[in-house]
Structure 1
Amino acid sequence: MGAAIAAALWVATRLSNVVIPLMIGIVVSALLVPFSNWLQRHGWPKWVAVIASLVAVLAGIAVLVFLVLWRVQASLPRLQHRAVAVVEQLQHFAKHSTLQLPTLDVDTVGSTVRSFIEGHAAQLEAGFAVAGGGLVDFGEGLFIVIFVTIFTLTGGRRMWQWVVTLFPRKAQPRLSVAGEAGWQTLTHFIRIQIVIAATDAAGIGLGAFILGLPLAAPIGVIVFIGAFIPVVGAFAAGALAVLIALLFKGWVAALVMLGIVILVQQLEGGSFTRS
């Protein structure tokens, strides 16, 4: 049994470009199943309901991305101005502090960066080529996600029944029950995660709005998306909210924003743990 698990993990690692989109497609399918089933119960044909569900998700993602880019573009001049002001404040503090901190010469840093770019042009070009290859891999992965999502929603049960037939006959009943239970668990987990993400986004976004931050809506969107990224997503989104508060409102607002992030996450975690 252990050897089989190790072999499966080795194959998954080697085929990560396929396995990861496959798993994402299954998660997206679990997200769309309730909506697709609701449409079918209201007289929509299965294929139409599946396509409509997938289009609705893609449209929702597109709207969220547009909202973030639109607000960031509108606030970009102020963001640049505040970033320069914060750097100047840090330089002034380092220069006049009794701690004898080293000062930072922006012109020297700029010259160093330009020299580095000129001296490593070939490596940077190779990096851009790798990034281009990454875009191709992303397109392939997106195709796999859409393919898996469509066929899981239209014939997921039949696909699982076929997979079960590949195993010994004695193990098939238990595998069938385990698959059904795992699917139900996954769908419930996705629903709870959506509620958690929406709660974090609403709380932190509202806190940013009360503080008068110009990017309150994008902060809420980023927090919502970050909640679906394990381990680092919520932390990175909260850190971004604190950084924006620092740039636009100063240290006091940044500390208040940090307190809001911690409070919202603690309340959300405690509430769902008790439930």
Structure 2
Amino acid sequence: MDNSPQADDTAPATVPRGIIVLVGIAGIVVAVAGMKLIAGLIAPVFLALMLTIAVHPMGRWLRRHGCPAWLAALTLVIGVYGILVILFGSIIYSAARLTTLMPQYADKFDSIVDDLKHFLGEHGVNSESIHNMLSNVDAGKIISAAGSLLSGLVSTTSGLVLVLVVALFMAVDAVGFSDRLTALDRLRPNVSVALNNFAAGTRTYLVVSTVFGLIVAVLDAGALWALGIPLPLLWGLLSFITNYIPNIGFVLGVIPPAILGLLDGGWSKMLIVIVVYSAINVVIQSIIQPKFVGDAVGLSTTLTFLSLVVWTWILGPLGAILAVPLTIFVKCLLIDIDPSTRWVNLLIADSVRPDASAGPERHDDV
């Protein structure tokens, strides 16, 4: 009889951790590829969700004070539609004003390009290199690009229609969602807590970004008005919108007024615009605001910037605005929803809290 030790066939098989990591990475790659393919659907739907979350407290307040469900739902719909009309209307109007303004500076722009060619030629740059460098820079092409921008904004109408339709149904469903979460809390408390905290974090992020955006917009518009830059209110609006883009939003906002400063008053005025914008926006948007946002949503400054890069690559320009809420949503699904993974909060948060590994503090405000 063979008494040699044998493997226990009843012992459960274990999968090596390395295999689990590789499968997880492969799943992430497939998911990202899928999201990139349907970016035109994901971005508008998530925008509708974000706006519904933003206005949901109004409906909850009305319900608590005895208003019927249909009135609360109608209030949410009006709130979401009002935000969209103001946002898209302002953007399209601003782009139209820009296209009508640019032709006035066509001659000045061509003159600046000629001066730049002359300057480069005097400093040893051969004419062929100058031609290759500046052959595609002329006022006509800049004006044409501005017109293309307006056409592109108008072409987003189909996406806007999707946002409006989805927001309508979300607003109706949102009226009774608090009751559903209350029932869910008895069955799946971890899921309920994660969803509540996602809504609370998104709403806090929107409030913080809106407040700082208004501050930046007022300061920028006032500075541009004092400097005599055309359309200061338009560029203040642009500063407000780009404030929702983490870390580098002000860089996008300074380009148009800086170019107008160059056309209106030369290189010195352009430099003044850049310095003034940097003094205002770097301090507020890149130093003060990220601290408030990081503390509010539990994301470090580095992760916030990386989320901007990743979601812009996946979803396009709208992904830059939705980057932080989308990252909060992914964090909700992959980390906060499972007690065994909440230790990751210690690594991705802007500051360490004693209870970070236990998950975020619950916010019952959905």
1:102 match: 126
1:272 match: 289
Q: 1:219 to 1:139 in 2, by over 3 A?
A: closer
C-alpha separation in 2, matches of 1:28 and 1:184: 13
C-alpha separation in 2, matches of 1:162 and 1:48: 20
Which is further off, 186-195 or 155-164? 155-164
Post-superposition CA distance 1:102-130 (Å, at most 9, x none):
34569x948xxxxxxxxxxxxxxxxx9xx
Q: 1:36 to 1:79 in 2, by over 3 A?
A: farther
1:85 match: 111
2:74 match: 48
Structure ID, larger Rg: 2
> Is it true that 1:31 corresponds to 2:54 in the alignment?
yes
RMSD: 3.9
C-alpha separation in 2, matches of 1:18 and 1:73: 29
2:171 match: 153
C-alpha separation in 2, matches of 1:273 and 1:223: 16
Q: 1:32 to 1:91 in 2, by over 3 A?
A: same
Q: 1:37 to 1:90 in 2, by over 3 A?
A: farther
> Is it true that 1:189 corresponds to 2:205 in the alignment?
yes
C-alpha separation in 2, matches of 1:47 and 1:164: 19
TM-score by length of 2: 0.56
- 1:156 deviation in Å? 2.9
C-alpha separation in 2, matches of 1:151 and 1:174: 26
2:310 match: none
- 1:203 deviation in Å? 1.9
- 1:152 deviation in Å? 2.6
Structure 2 unaligned segments of length 5 or more: list them: 1-19, 137-147, 293-366
TM-score by length of 1: 0.72
C-alpha separation in 2, matches of 1:171 and 1:52: 34
Indicate conservation of the 8 Å contact 2:220/2:277, yes or no.
yes
- 1:187 deviation in Å? 0.6
C-alpha separation in 1, matches of 2:262 and 2:59: 43
Q: 1:39 to 1:263 in 2, by over 3 A?
A: farther
Q: Paired residue for 1:257, among 233, 249, 273? A: 273
Q: Paired residue for 1:15, among 32, 38, 41? A: 38
Q: 1:173 to 1:10 in 2, by over 3 A?
A: farther
C-alpha separation in 2, matches of 1:59 and 1:221: 14
Post-superposition CA distance 1:227-251 (Å, at most 9, x none):
2234554322122222221121111
Q: Which amino acid aligns with 2:117?
A: Q
Q: Which amino acid aligns with 2:229?
A: L
Structure 1 unaligned segments of length 5 or more: list them: 111-127
Secondary structure, counterpart of 1:229 in structure 2: coil
Indicate conservation of the 8 Å contact 1:68/1:217, yes or no.
no
- 1:267 deviation in Å? 2.6
